[in-house]
Structure 1
Amino acid sequence: MTSSLAEASAPSTAGRRLTFKPDSSTDTGYVDGAWWPRSRDLAVELEALAAEPGAGHVDRVSYSFPDWDDTPRRALVDGTVVKLGGYRTLPAHTMNVLDGSRWRTLLVVPPGTSAADAEHALAAAGSAGNLDSVADLLAPRSP
């Protein structure tokens, strides 16, 4: 894949599981975008991440231990070995993804999140100028 992770942002998040703020966003806030994986198996889910439209090439991932089940130190993604590093010091529900020479911090929307709440978090986290905290982005919406 030749496109960049930064190009994954779209005006509508319907059906999307990955969003990014536009490159022109000057205030990055807590996160640069959001990802809604289907499970807590990071090695499997990274294949799905790389397959998202505009996701680009994933070189390295730093993740928060509590967010994922047991994870190997390396995973094969799109035919390439990706180094994975779990850290207790990363904020919960975030991960850092290296795409070439650029690190991006993603909000990780928990797999069991309702579609409405997940779509809201994806849209907000991918909006230019969004400065909401991880907790605010993941807060359930009122019916």
Structure 2
Amino acid sequence: MTTVPHTNTLDHPKHVARLRLKPKAPATGYVDGAWWPASRDLATELPFLLVVLAVQLERIERVTYNLTAWPPAPRRLVVESGNVRLEGFRSQHTDTLTVIGTAGRRRLTLLVVPPETEPDLAHRLLMTAAHRDSVDDIETLLTGE
């Protein structure tokens, strides 16, 4: 019989959705939280984000983004919960991403913190955008004013 040593440590995930959402409450402000992707590759970054958001949105149907802010992305993405339609628009704010779920057609609009942002600043932006009382517009959030 082979004994496997027991440890109290957990392996850190190879990829983590760097995300902060406002607490469940009536919607206020321009965004529902913030996301700090590790890259500008939606096909790589979105599956991790959508797994986390599926808890609130149930099955996710669509993700909208600004066409000029991201390199070309596939029109559909297969994730754990099924197929998700990706739709790029020139009219959407360059620093936001909207995730639309089936739970009452609920949507979450997220401030996208640029991947190259310095970690301390990114953390501040995530926390500020996710603050319950945050009503700042996108530009104000990103400048940290």
TM-score, reference length from structure 1: 0.78
What stretches of structure 2 of length at least 5 have no aligned partner? 1-15
1:126 partnered with 2:127: no
Matches within 5 A, 1:4-19: 17-19=18-20
Rg larger for = 2
Question: Which residue identity is paired with 2:141?
Answer: L
Q: How does 1:33-112 map to 2 (within 5 A)?
A: 33-52=33-52, 55-56=54-55, 57-78=59-80, 80-100=82-102, 101-112=105-116
The alignment's TM-score, normalised by the length of structure 2, stands at 0.77
Is the contact between residue 35 and residue 108 of structure 1 (CA under 8 Å) also seen in structure 2? Answer: yes
Q: Quote how far apart the aligned CAs of 1:51 are.
A: 4.0
Distance (Å, rounded) in 1 between the aligned partners of 2:122 and 2:30 = 17
Instruction: Report if aligned partners of 1:36, 1:109 keep a CA contact under 8 Å in 2.
Output: yes
Deviation, 1:140, is 5.8
Task: Provide the aligned C-alpha RMSD in A.
Answer: 2.0
* 5+ residue gaps, structure 1: 1-14
Secondary structure at the counterpart of residue 66 of structure 1: coil
Residues 1:55 and 1:110: Cα distance change in structure 2 (over 3 Å):
farther
